[in-house]
Amino acid sequence: MLAALCCLQGAAFAQGKKAATPALLMGAAWYPEQWPESRWNADLQLMEDAHLHVVRVGEFAWSTMEPEEGHYDLDWLERAVRLAEKHNIKVVIGTPTDAPPAWLTVAHPETLRVDASGRTAEHGSRRQFNYASPEYRKFCSGVAAQLARRFGHDPDVIGWQIGNEYTDESFDAATRRQFQEWLQRKYKTLDALNRDWATAYWSQTYDRWDEIPLPSGAGNPGLLLDHRRFVSDTWRDFQQVQIDVIRKYADPRQFITTNIGGLGWSDNWDHYEITRPLDLASWDDYVGEGHLDVARNAAMHDFARGWKRKNFWVMETQPGSVNWAPVNTTLDRGETRAMAWQAVGHGADAVLYWQWRDALNGQEQYHGAIAGPDGAPLPIYTEISRIGGEFDRAATALKGTTLTAQVALLLTYDSRWAIDFQPHNRNYDQLKVLLGYYRPLRDEQLTVDIVSAGAPLDSYKLVFAPSLNVISKDLAAHLLAYVQQGGHLVLGPRSGMKDEHNALNTQRQPGPLVAPLGGRVEQYYALDRAVPVSGTFGSGTASLWAEQLSTSAPDTSVLLRYGKSNGWLDGQPAMITRRAGKGVITYLGAVLDPGLMRKMVAWATSEAHVQAEFPQVPAGVEVCRRTTASHTVFVLINHGSAEAHVALPSAMSDVLHDGARVTSVDLNPQDVAVLQTEVNGGDR
């Protein structure tokens, strides 16, 4: 009776005048199941007053939704959605499959995850489930179906989040069998597997499929790479079960996503593969200890935007502090605002805080929140309210805008995993290497896409591939086609060392691209000290990694050479380049110091005719550019500690100040300006 009443109430609200959902959303994770229902309205009123337009609910509420097997109670959630509707707040429902209830894992212990040491997870935390378990997936499908039946046509439910931050795989016997079956489907015969993995090495040859282990540490590189691919496929299949049942009952207008954690850079599984079947990508943007690393955080936004090559959501971000870092520092006053606008500047259409209110108990009771345990606002509430008001004012200008880049950075998870398995230098940090290319590009205020190497490349003038370790023949053909059609490709160190089976390419590096490059890597060296490097655009040093290059074509030019070092590298090429078709292919075999790296990037952008998108700005000021066919929006953020004066290239409308026409802006530390201009440079 109560459920029917709630549905009728929802229909009545739906027929009334409803506020349109803004194009730019701010919100929070809200857990009504943790609080007395008498408190809900006060919480939602505070959210509305702070200009929050969306809440995420339900992703940890399985024991409340299904208190015993087969008995569902969703009436409380219906009442929460209806109350949110009264406050013009939309809802994203999380399927609760990251935290199964105790009754499930006690009655069905086969659904529990087993770690690499053979220990079975227990109830009392989360992620204790086995992602590969058919039995667990049955229960996931059941609760997702109940939710989708109930809310799949609800006008105030705008989307679904599947689970929460996919993380840990399982090493149980049943999952091992699934891995062996996955390999059998891929290779068809053991002869093919043994050949591609080169199992004659150390007598690793397999005579039966059930001999193949589920690796948890070092091992055959082919085995390790295929296991990572299996993990990605298994998480994608786990996700697909819930996508299918939600799509069966839900409106197409309701999006489906999952929130990706790991500070954006986790590599347990392939983010491009996981997000491919989703409607939009979302990730959880946390700083943890210390303060915002501007370039790193910007790169992670660009990385997230590149998973589906379109705008994304920040599904979780910290309201000042976290509880899981070594030292849980709080962001400075204004830093939370700067962080929110940086997300928007790099393509976020929504920013949601975790969490709305301090939990009274549980493992994250010290985590930052917007409201305290008494329900009253914490100091951060004022800053978040300001952000929400600014989002409201900027929503119209930002509606339909996205980022368009002249430059891309390329990644593949095969390459990331291959290097991680065998780093050869424990200090070779792939993210730091990537940021070595990214920082000077952003210092020039250039928009940068970070995309899979197999993505379409024809829209880019310049492409960098910092550590593209695995290059198959098909990927090589894709990259070469880009070059021959007029693109400029710069390969970084360790590129093309491996084929798709994680075996060494017989052509040496860069594998199938040796011939068009007109040169190759003769030998690679892990460095324990800096090596001098000099050439066309300056001098500096290389560290961590250096490759001795050679040229085999008369028109291959040497751009950089090593100075006196270990004898092997002395005077040898460190960077070479050659025209191929209408474009250029370049190979840099070293990790350069920041100064020389900046000069190399400046050379590459000049050669590729990459044009600056904004004039020079004071140090510490970040410029982000979002466009439509009709106009451009610039988001300027002063991450520095001093006031900054920015002269604009033309008159623009100051979106946050009633559209006033301005030719310059003055930004205090952590301050933000949002400026709009027509494509032709005129004022909109």
User: pLDDT digit string (tens) for 398-437?
Assistant: 999 999 999 999 999 999 999 999 999 999 999 999 999 9
| CA distance between the termini of the chain | 54
DSSP 106-164: HH-GGGB-B-TTSPBP-SSSS--B-TT-HHHHHHHHHHHHHHHHHHTT-TTEEEEE-SS
- Look up 316 and say whether it is catalytic: yes
Are the C-beta atoms of 78 and 3 separated by less than 8 Å? Answer: yes
Q: What pLDDT does 364 receive?
A: 84
Question: Domains in the chain, ordered, with CATH?
Answer: 2-172+235-272+353-396 (3.20.20.80), 407-607 (3.40.50.880), 621-678 (2.60.40.1180)
Given a cut of 80, whether residue 46 has pLDDT beyond it is yes
Overall size of the chain counted in residues: 684
Q: Which two tokens stand for residue 617?
A: 């700005």
Q: What pLDDT does 328 receive?
A: 87
Catalytic residue among 316, 390, 444, 547: 316
Given a cut of 70, whether residue 669 has pLDDT beyond it is yes
Q: What pLDDT does 363 receive?
A: 81
Residues 523-540: what's their mean pLDDT? 97
pLDDT bin (cut points 50, 70, 90) of residue 679 is: low
Given a cut of 70, whether residue 549 has pLDDT beyond it is yes
What percentage of the chain carries pLDDT values higher than 70?
96
pLDDT bin (cut points 50, 70, 90) of residue 577 is: very high
Q: Which of 209-223, 233-247, 319-333, 547-561 has the lowest mean pLDDT?
A: 319-333
Given a cut of 50, whether residue 388 has pLDDT beyond it is yes
User: Reduced to 3 DSSP states, what percent helix, strand and coil does the chain have, rounded to the nearest 5?
Assistant: 35, 25, 40
- Look up 169 and say whether it is catalytic: no
Q: Helices 221-249 and 190-197: crossing angle, nearest 10°?
A: 120
Helix (H, G, I), strand (E, B) or coil at 382: helix
Given a cut of 90, whether residue 444 has pLDDT beyond it is yes
Residues 499-513: what's their mean pLDDT? 96
Are the C-beta atoms of 136 and 111 separated by less than 8 Å? Answer: yes
What percentage of the chain carries pLDDT values higher than 90?
89
Catalytic residue among 66, 78, 85, 165: 165
Average pLDDT of the chain to the nearest whole number: 94
Are the C-beta atoms of 106 and 71 separated by less than 8 Å? Answer: no
Report d(CA 646, CA 643) in Å as an integer.
10
Q: What pLDDT does 660 receive?
A: 95
* DSSP β-bridge partners for residue 673: 636
Q: Which two tokens stand for residue 520?
A: 């190759």
Residues 354-372: what's their mean pLDDT? 89
pLDDT bin (cut points 50, 70, 90) of residue 10 is: very low
Phi and psi (nearest 5°) for 155? -65, -20
